[in-house]
Amino acid sequence: MTATAREIAEMFEMLPLEEQEFAREVMRKLVRAWDSDFTKLTPNEAIELKLAHEEVAKGEAFWDSEIDWDNLDKMDLD
């Protein structure tokens, strides 16, 4: 999270609950005006998505079905 986003979150938390709801609706309208389908990625999301695609291409990612969720400490990740 950027310093600006943290500052906004801190200011948001200072508001009374009903004003938080108003602020949330204003933010929602701003985002929808910027991206009506919520399809754009933030710069950080774009980086994370690129890295994820690279990991998959290199075989560095695991499918959910390959993970023994009950025995994670015994899983060989090599």
The Cα 66–Cα 38 span in angstroms is 31
pTM above 0.85, yes or no: no
**Domain ranges within the chain, ordered by starting residue:** 3-63
What local confidence, expressed as pLDDT, does residue 65 receive? 86
pLDDT tens-digit readout, 9-30: 999 999 999 999 999 999 989 9
Give Dmax over CA atoms of the chain in angstroms.
51
| DSSP per-residue string spanning the chain | --HHHHHHHHHHHHS-HHHHHHHHHHHHHHHHHH-TTS-PPPHHHHHHHHHHHHHHHTT----GGG--GGGGGG----
pLDDT tens-digit readout, 27-76: 989 988 888 777 778 888 899 999 999 998 998 887 888 888 888 888 77
